[in-house]
Chain A
Amino acid sequence: MKRPTVPLLLVALVLLAGCGGKKRPPAVLTDPAHKPSYPAASPEPEQPVNTGPDIRSVGRDNPSGEDFSINDASGENGPLEDIHFEYDKDALSDEARAILEKHALWLQNHRQARVTVEGHCDERGTVDYNLALGDKRARATRDYLVSLGVAGDRMHTVSFGKERPLDPTATEQAFARNRRAHFVVSR
């Protein structure tokens, strides 16, 4: 075998043994010099490679392209205006209660109307926590309407957490607008 006249510069993988924390054992490759248990040099049979599993879309249950029934937070309000909440709170302010008293009157005058009470949050805070907070805001709102004499079975609640803000900008004014209960009226 012909030997090169300069030292060979060879490139390969070298184990980065023992990097990191004290508790973590280093990556260990069994040393074949001591444990010659690897398969012989003859290659294994060909192994088929899955070059792209056939993942398929789901949920094409809306073929008409009709939007789903939720009001799309376009800013258009139905007959019942939004109420607003303090940051990270689900308590009803005096102002919110006054608005809900008007809503209760309206609902007593429109006995066919059914209402979806949506609870929304601003973008600050974590996903899961805001979904729960939106639920609490929607239920606090519904419960107050019930206490004012609106039948509970005319209302249902939906939490949107921070998933569908009215105003997606990151300003204090937008945050305040987004912390709300929104009312979608159907008949």
Chain B
Amino acid sequence: MPDCIPRAGDEASREACRTITQVLRSDLKFEGLFQFVPENLFSALPTLNPDSPNFEDWRSVGTNILVVMRAQVTGGELAVEARVFSVDGRQVMLSKRYSGRADNPRSFAHQASDDIVALTQYKGVARTKIAFTSDRDATKERRAKELYIVDYDGFNPRRITVNNSLNILPAWSPDGRALAYVSYRQGGPAVFVAHIYEGRSESLTKQGEQAFAPSFSPDGKRIAYASNKTGNMEVWVANADGTGAHNVTSNPSTDTAPAWSPTGQEIAFTSDRAGTPQIYVMDSEGLNIRRLTTVGNWNDAPTWNPSKEYSEIAYTARLEAGGFDIAVIDLATRQIRQVTAGRGSCEYPSWAPNGRHLVFSCQRSRGGTWQITVADREGRTIDTLAAGSGNNVQPDWGP
């Protein structure tokens, strides 16, 4: 992928091109589907003819695919062209033109990245967002926790809740237009739904019951959560507007942390019915409960891989004394894959919408800050996300 070529020599166009080059390379590298020829080879390139690359020459160095970007800023508008060439096929695979406001060229690169990844069988994540809880705006007098949203790469932080209370456990709706979360703004913990493009929030559960851990069903029509309304902590399911709430577990132990299967027909949850917290699976009306995890004495926070390609559940596991790690259990073989190791304590995993990456929160040393952390599903690459100051916890990766 050569540098983006400005269509005009003005500084705004060149700056937009620099951003697009950097962000698009970063996006495509993150997906882990492509291998880049080292950039030091660029210096020897003769000037590329962006309309008609010399395929023979590209092929002679083993190139399969060539991405050519061009951009121009005119009067506050940014116009970008993306062309993807198959070198072997000697033809254009993708040709796109994008236009919009020039103030955020990163979003053009994200759009181009997703269009390029769409040439594979995968859906890219470059335009996805991550919601999380942070104490960054807390003061000594008001130890508030609020919800924030960042782009998947940590850029563009936006604050969602503004009430100086505790606002925790955000969970995206499948259409990306709402967040379910838990707020203490009326005293006790209740599930709310924030409509983030409309700037309004409404409560799903009432004061008097302790309600936590909301999770939207894959079709967005139902929300599962944990509540003590029966006098004991159980998994509940309600319609997304709060009607039809009913408990689906009924057991003297603690049942919490529900997570839907990709089909919406099953729910994974945490229960201590066998003496220690373990992951269980049931159908969405509470029947056919079976235990999933048997290794370790503390497993919690299950989250089902949303991709049909991977039948697995990520969760928080105490595999060694002391800290927690992120683990993934294969639902067919029950084999456990440890995603984090030696990274202090990590908890609260959430899958990228395509199931190829995980986000969670880690505290690398006791007493240190909690940071949003991203890994591929094998745990080969793990990086802290620069998501801003404070303790950043409970991430949920949205559409």
Q: Are A57 and B142 in contact (CB under 8 A)?
A: no
B159-187 vs A, Cβ < 8 Å mask (1 yes, 0 no)? 11111111111000000000000011111
Q: How many A-B residue pairs have CB under 8 A?
A: 302
Chain A nearest Cβ from B173, distance in angstroms? 13
Q: Determine which residue in B210, B212, B233, B393 has the highest number of CB atoms from chain A within 10 A of its CB, and name it.
A: B210
- CB within 8 A of A4: which of B34, B46, B183, B309? B46
Q: Are B194 and A32 in contact (CB under 8 A)?
A: no
Known: A16-B32, A60-B163, A129-B300. A9 touches B185 (CB 8 A): no
With the chains together, A73 CA to B144 CA distance in Å? 12
- CB within 8 A of A62: which of B78, B86, B165, B233? B165
Q: Please provide the 9 A-B residue pairs with the shortest distance between their CB atoms, ordered closest to farther.
A: A8-B57, A56-B199, A32-B89, A12-B63, A49-B100, A58-B201, A170-B367, A126-B300, A10-B58
Residues of chain A within 8 A of B338, CB atoms compared: none
Residues of chain B within 8 A of A27, CB atoms compared: 33-34, 120-122
Interfacial residues of chain A within 1-53, with CB under 8 A of chain B in the complex:
1, 4, 6-16, 19-21, 24-25, 27-33, 36, 38-53
With the chains together, A48 CA to B187 CA distance in Å? 44
Q: Are A13 and B100 in contact (CB under 8 A)?
A: no
Cβ of B26 under 8 Å from chain A: no
20 contacts between A and B (CB under 8 A): A9-B45, A10-B58, A12-B66, A13-B63, A14-B34, A40-B92, A46-B97, A47-B96, A48-B100, A49-B78, A58-B161, A62-B185, A67-B142, A68-B187, A70-B165, A72-B143, A126-B277, A128-B256, A131-B189, A157-B188
With the chains together, A7 CA to B61 CA distance in Å? 8
Cβ of A146 under 8 Å from chain B: no
Q: Are B160 and A128 in contact (CB under 8 A)?
A: no
Known: A59-B161, A125-B298. A53 touches B197 (CB 8 A): yes
Residues of chain A within 8 A of B28, CB atoms compared: 13
Cβ of B44 under 8 Å from chain A: yes
Residues of chain B within 8 A of A32, CB atoms compared: 86, 88-89, 91, 93
> What is the chain B residue whose CB lies nearest that of A44?
B96
A interface vs B, CB < 8 Å?
1, 4, 6-16, 19-21, 24-25, 27-33, 36, 38-62, 65, 67-70, 72-73, 116, 125-129, 131-133, 135-136, 139, 156-160, 163-164, 169-170
Residues of chain B within 8 A of A42, CB atoms compared: 95
Q: Are A11 and B93 in contact (CB under 8 A)?
A: no
Which one of B35-43, B216-224, B241-249, B280-288 contacts A? B35-43
Q: Are B37 and A14 in contact (CB under 8 A)?
A: yes
Known: A46-B99, A128-B300. A51 touches B189 (CB 8 A): no
Cβ of B390 under 8 Å from chain A: no
Known: A62-B164, A62-B185. A10 touches B61 (CB 8 A): yes
Q: Are B33 and A16 in contact (CB under 8 A)?
A: yes
